[in-house]
Structure 1
């Protein structure tokens, strides 16, 4: 409760409520003053209308000039007074003598108040303390031709005006109270909404949380994007902008690379220069999904090292296999010697040795990059274990290029792995590999006995996560395509003497 009393929503509600009460009180006071002024103005219009109407009636002129004006005018004026709810109507002679009055005892006595302006032909109103107390009255002349023969005054006392005003106050105050209640309810609803949005925290708590979160978001080594329900980014940290090459300013999901534009895009993604592992989870609050949080990790270097390690592992497996085969051959040679067939033993041993040594010598002499040479030797043994005949063409040759060996291993290794898997679809699987320099370019050409790919299939294979085979190496051609794109090279596929995939990249360090 202590935190809630200090929350932004509570403070805003208290200040807003105080402002509303002050504004309503001030507005109500001004409205009351204006209403009182309007009430006086309406009274003036009413008494003027009554006096002028009575004065302009021919019977009034005739009655004034008759022998007994009171007898003719008193019943009429009283009827008019009661019908219009005014306090008095006085018809008088120019010398102020009253012919009519609400109080009968005052008839015949002089009228108290100003009549000079009426005698001059003007109709006017005034506030005057007369026989019935303070009142708003009007005075107007009665003409017989051009001659003023009398005056008519109609008035309403301040007491009755106040009674009328007070009788209308309940409605006015009720409307004022309704407006105040509506404003309080609206403020309460706004306060509850703000409390939900600020999680009921106080201003200093919000400030500390913002400072801490901002510091953490910009210092962590992973990319972080917080999406709202409309796929607009509420938070994008510096690492996310770097990994995804996002410009400063607002970010929408459509600004991301194509493979990340779909919701729930968790998994591995490739951009032109990076290999990214992406995870996306929903953000829930009180059973409602507010949006999602996307985390992005850079696995580019890890993937390259993993590819090189796979190549070395393959080479080690090849050596293990060859050691096993060598042991079998050695036992065979020993047995043949024991059987007295020494010449056949020598012929058997040297034939296998010459074949293996010839391949090793050729690759080590023509391929000066040890990682590539080891990769090719390892893939030959790996393919043989899977029943695939893999040959390295005689024109394979690669000098010192200055290129990153890891990229060369990624390029050649993934193309060979894909070819080995694809060739198994044929009855006699084979793979043929050529690695050479041509016109200052590195050319890696891998042919196989598989069904091959048309240009559309190649384009799909180069996309993130596509795989033409079952298993876990769906990123093979995508990784190859990334290396090719990074160096501004080309990647083509054709079906000629087999399925042929050719990757070509420029070599800056190649000899001219």
Structure 2
């Protein structure tokens, strides 16, 4: 039993070659049969046409009636027979006596064949074996002017001549078949080489195993994977669909987020934000093709943890600053007592304590969310340490049933205050914070900085922006983007303007 080649390309070539050989052989056989059928039909039509033409010729009837048929008609029939390549043309009397024949010695002899239908006035065709062997012949009646049958015309071609005509077509058909085979083999050989290059000579089973492994890896990998090419999106795994909220079925570039629609194959660990996720994107070009591979990691939970850690770190720094400041104040009180001025020591200590307690009481009364109270007090202490005047306005009021969760409130307000601390004017550093919910939630943070123009502000909301430079900038710039993410999730608005300072306002209805 024949064994197929190992590689997919070889098997495809072998199967295609077998199919082509069968098709060409079948086609050639059908062509030969068709030529034979058409040749036989054409021969019947030819002998019938010649027999009828001679029978209907007035000169034929006249020669028979004049009794001079042999002398007059023999040259005519031989000339016609020679020019038409027939085997014989015989003109005879109704009693079968031949007036003409290919072999002159047969003139005057009896015609061998069926003549009864012709004697009845019919034109009759048959295959019959006569003096020249088997032939296809037609017999037509000759009528005089009165319509009487006075003779018969038989024209025929031997079956051997028909076979010769058929065999003469063989070289052409065989040549065409061989040419078709040669051209087909050249084509499938080119296809084989192309498939061989594309499949690297792998066998079908190996390709199937590779596909199964490939599909399993794509489905199980924890990173999103997208392959882009010049035609659009070639591949998207399940994790990428989940992270980017892509629909089922084929994906086009227009379905991708805007930051993936362009061509940027050099991106490395680029942080991008969607409506509800923080993503780390890497893009690389495949050197062997025009494809681009995009990997996506979900950093949402990590970013949230980093934000909480940053808040704790800042709160720790604030506590440390307060401890340092408290130590200085305690030393001052102790020194005043040692100097014999206890009244001034008590006045100094109670005055500082009253101011601090007053701020705590006012913020606690205005804001019902403990986490936000702690954030505001911590930011106030941090700002004081950095020499920034941070004011919580009298308009601040937040009920217990806030439109944002405590974590979202801390993220929004904490990032806005951090941005304001980094951006405020160092010659006149001040920040004003207002948090109010009366039907709709409004968070407003103003600072003495120069602010951002519209284009910069839009870019900061989409991708992140930092006023810092150098190494610090690589870990900053997500604050406003994270705020925009929460605001968009709740259908709110985030705006910036320059009035009495740089003012950023969050409104959520």
TM-score range, shorter chain: 0.7 to 0.9
Q: Equivalent of 1:275, from 273, 278, 284?
A: 278
Q: How far apart in 1 are the matches of 2:263 and 2:381?
A: 41
Shift of residue 392 of structure 1? Answer: 4.8
The residue aligned with 1:498 is 501
- Structure 1 residues 326-376: Cα deviation after superposition (integer angstroms, max 9, x where no partner): 899999999x99xxx94799979996x778766654555535437515641
SS in structure 2 at match of 1:97: coil
SS in structure 2 at match of 1:139: strand
Shift of residue 211 of structure 1? Answer: 2.5
Q: How far apart in 1 are the matches of 2:35 and 2:448?
A: 101
Instruction: Indicate whether 1:210 and 2:211 are aligned.
Output: yes
The residue aligned with 1:118 is 118
Q: How has the CA–CA distance of structure 1 residues 460 and 491 changed in structure 2, closer, same or farther, with 3 Å as cutoff?
A: same
Unaligned runs of 5+ in 1: 507-512
Instruction: Indicate whether 1:234 and 2:235 are aligned.
Output: yes
Contact 2:380 / 2:390 at 8 angstroms: preserved in 1?
no
Q: How has the CA–CA distance of structure 1 residues 294 and 467 changed in structure 2, closer, same or farther, with 3 Å as cutoff?
A: same
Q: How has the CA–CA distance of structure 1 residues 188 and 172 changed in structure 2, closer, same or farther, with 3 Å as cutoff?
A: same
Contact 2:279 / 2:298 at 8 angstroms: preserved in 1?
yes
Q: How has the CA–CA distance of structure 1 residues 382 and 282 changed in structure 2, closer, same or farther, with 3 Å as cutoff?
A: farther
- Structure 1 residues 7-38: Cα deviation after superposition (integer angstroms, max 9, x where no partner): 33433332232222223222322221221111
The residue aligned with 2:80 is 80
SS in structure 1 at match of 2:462: coil
- Which deviates the most, 323-332 or 225-234? 323-332
Q: How has the CA–CA distance of structure 1 residues 244 and 235 changed in structure 2, closer, same or farther, with 3 Å as cutoff?
A: closer
Shift of residue 194 of structure 1? Answer: 4.5
Q: How has the CA–CA distance of structure 1 residues 356 and 131 changed in structure 2, closer, same or farther, with 3 Å as cutoff?
A: farther
- Structure 1 residues 27-79: Cα deviation after superposition (integer angstroms, max 9, x where no partner): 32222122111101111111112222222222222222344432222222221
Instruction: Indicate whether 1:103 and 2:103 are aligned.
Output: yes
Q: How far apart in 1 are the matches of 2:279 and 2:87?
A: 94
TM (normalized to structure 2)? 0.82
Q: How has the CA–CA distance of structure 1 residues 349 and 191 changed in structure 2, closer, same or farther, with 3 Å as cutoff?
A: farther
Contact 2:70 / 2:100 at 8 angstroms: preserved in 1?
yes
- Which deviates the most, 77-86 or 477-486? 477-486
Q: How far apart in 2 are the matches of 1:28 and 1:346?
A: 126
TM (normalized to structure 1)? 0.82
SS in structure 2 at match of 1:232: strand
- Structure 1 residues 282-313: Cα deviation after superposition (integer angstroms, max 9, x where no partner): 345xx322x33222211112112222222333
Contact 1:142 / 1:148 at 8 angstroms: preserved in 2?
yes
The residue aligned with 2:161 is 160
Q: Report how many residues are paired.
A: 490
Q: How far apart in 1 are the matches of 2:389 and 2:377?
A: 18
The residue aligned with 2:224 is 223
The residue aligned with 1:419 is 420
Q: Equivalent of 2:485, from 482, 486, 497?
A: 482
Q: How has the CA–CA distance of structure 1 residues 441 and 73 changed in structure 2, closer, same or farther, with 3 Å as cutoff?
A: closer
The residue aligned with 2:450 is 451
Q: How has the CA–CA distance of structure 1 residues 362 and 380 changed in structure 2, closer, same or farther, with 3 Å as cutoff?
A: farther
SS in structure 2 at match of 1:71: helix
Q: How far apart in 1 are the matches of 2:161 and 2:301?
A: 95
The residue aligned with 2:367 is none
